[in-house]
Structure 1
């Protein structure tokens, strides 16, 4: 199997970039179809429209879930549009990537938050209409353009930036496991040294800048630390997970979706706990686990089941999570050893106990 690394056609990050969107998109199409959340429409419609000048635009509101039903609805709404733009969070971005793929149109990604590593990837995570994980849709190409306006991202609630740190936290540990098992990646090959290096840089950036970025965004300012974390959450984690590989942390996240109590928490928040579960599962050194837990506590990421809404968990519920985590198609089987539902159950309970211990110190 070949070593492969993939990336978006162009990645743009900086202050005020939303006002330049039209100039970037004109090279891709003449009639954009723009998907935005109802709340986002009030904030971004005017500056986006102004950036396109006289270009005709079709805006559509997102229904809230990246499901097959929503994807099909949007394809029917496109009409004669020749480029698809998604403005918002991870589920909107995954949805427009799927819509553009089926409609055979170029796609532009404009994240307004840095809460996941979805923007740069050739992947859409599909859920049922009720929000339960259904499948990964692997796409033949990454987005044509990813544009990040750091002023917009820094203005979002700090919890969203922190959630992105939780998603990014898994990147290096999953890539490391995939490399150790010599497994394939979402890029369709094996990990390159470049992808592993970007994954490690992602982790190092989080540890160095995470707390300072959280504190700055809580005060509604965009410092260099914020810029660094936006790049780590969006680009470094995006390339790192896709071309470095996924393993246990994201599989645990998918397993957790079977418990409705966890649905109120963000993707990255649950991935952060999944990262701790992976470290317990692979019996990582105590020093490494402590560094991860300390980071999570500093920036307010979950370290135990209670932190993701699962209070007094019943053994049968956690076993249901473990079994969903271990279905044959899941990425947990990229770990460098055999994984069973019993092992995952033990790792979840062990991680929960560790998190509770460190929170109580």
Structure 2
């Protein structure tokens, strides 16, 4: 009998068809959408529509495209994606434009897939790396993580107007940094484990390099970019961070892989205590948890905690709303984070629920210790988070 040779999983990298970034590029949206579809549906919320409607309408007029807006329901559920898909089919649309934040964009992708039409991402904030990917995060009506939904292709176009990003509340850019910093932390772990990435294969050298590039750019530019966006300015640092948060992190997480940081994020969504935090803020708690689980060098962990605390990201359970949570609540977080289908199992070592529980508890102790040593204010409970602003840059 002939011997069979095990076939090693292929390496894979996937990406959007086109990426466009710059100040004022929203005014050119119609020109970029026209080759993709002639009957677009623009999915957005009321706030973003008010900010962008005049620019988008004029852009589409110049490109000879009709303008059809549809209001986003607020939560990226499977039901909302089906509703939007039905609207697109009824109106004869051949492309969906997700205009807004990550939840709008994820819903536009899901609706486009349901309707069998193409989709375009137009993020108005740089708060997540969702815009470039061939997947959506699906939530329950209560706002808890439900599942990842994968697609056969990435968006045909991702267009980011950096002036819109600079005009948005600085918290969104900071959250995007939290999401993007996790990309390298997770990708290097997935590479060590030879685990499968979100692209359906082993990581390519390109995917890993993009994840690392995102990390390097953020450590160099995040502080000045945040300071600039607080004044609604578009500087080279802002352009660099928007690219790192959106394109590099997007390609890096999808073709480099996810690990514990995003699994812990998913776990945090399972309890209502954390619903005041946006995606990248919860991911930052997950990044610290992963570094503790990995037994990363103490100096590396403490430097990461200080850097992200100075940016304004949560680095303690207190800020996540779990400072006074009992064991049962924390175990609910851990149970969701360690579910069999979760990406925490991409780490290059087995992880038990007790391991994650202890690492989560250590986040609080570590975060308080680093803050005290760095002379930063003590962590505050959720009611004060919405007024949190970045602290002075590290020496």
Deviation for aligned residue 1:353:
1.0
Partners of 1:310 and 1:61 lie apart in 2 by 34
Partners of 2:206 and 2:82 lie apart in 1 by 37
1:245 is matched with: 257
2:81 is matched with: 71
Deviation for aligned residue 1:311:
2.9
Residue 6, structure 1, aligned to residue 14, structure 2: yes
Residue pairs, 1:167-316, within 5 angstroms: 167-316=179-328
Name the Cα RMSD after superposition: 0.8
Partners of 1:209 and 1:281 lie apart in 2 by 28
CA contact (8 A) 1:116 1:233 kept: yes
Structure 1 counterpart SS, 2:147: strand
CA contact (8 A) 2:23 2:234 kept: no
CA contact (8 A) 1:199 1:244 kept: yes
Deviation for aligned residue 1:338:
0.4
Structure 2 residues not aligned, in runs of 5+:
1-8, 374-395
Q: How many residues align?
A: 361
Deviation for aligned residue 1:291:
2.1
1:50 is matched with: 58
Q: 1:81 aligns with which of 93, 101, 112?
A: 93
Deviation for aligned residue 1:55:
2.1
* TM, length-normalised to structure 2: 0.90
Structure 2 counterpart SS, 1:246: coil
Q: 2:71 aligns with which of 58, 61, 64?
A: 61
Deviation for aligned residue 1:352:
1.6
CA contact (8 A) 1:5 1:243 kept: yes
Deviation for aligned residue 1:130:
1.2
* TM, length-normalised to structure 1: 0.99
Structure 1 residues not aligned, in runs of 5+:
none
Partners of 1:345 and 1:270 lie apart in 2 by 16
Deviation for aligned residue 1:106:
1.1
Name the stretch that deviates more: 288-297 or 122-131: 288-297
Deviation string, structure 1 residues 55-84 (Cα, Å, up to 9, x no partner)? 222101111000011111111111201111
Deviation string, structure 1 residues 252-292 (Cα, Å, up to 9, x no partner)? 00000111010111000010110000000110001211221
Partners of 1:106 and 1:70 lie apart in 2 by 18
Partners of 1:311 and 1:186 lie apart in 2 by 33
Structure 1 counterpart SS, 2:292: helix
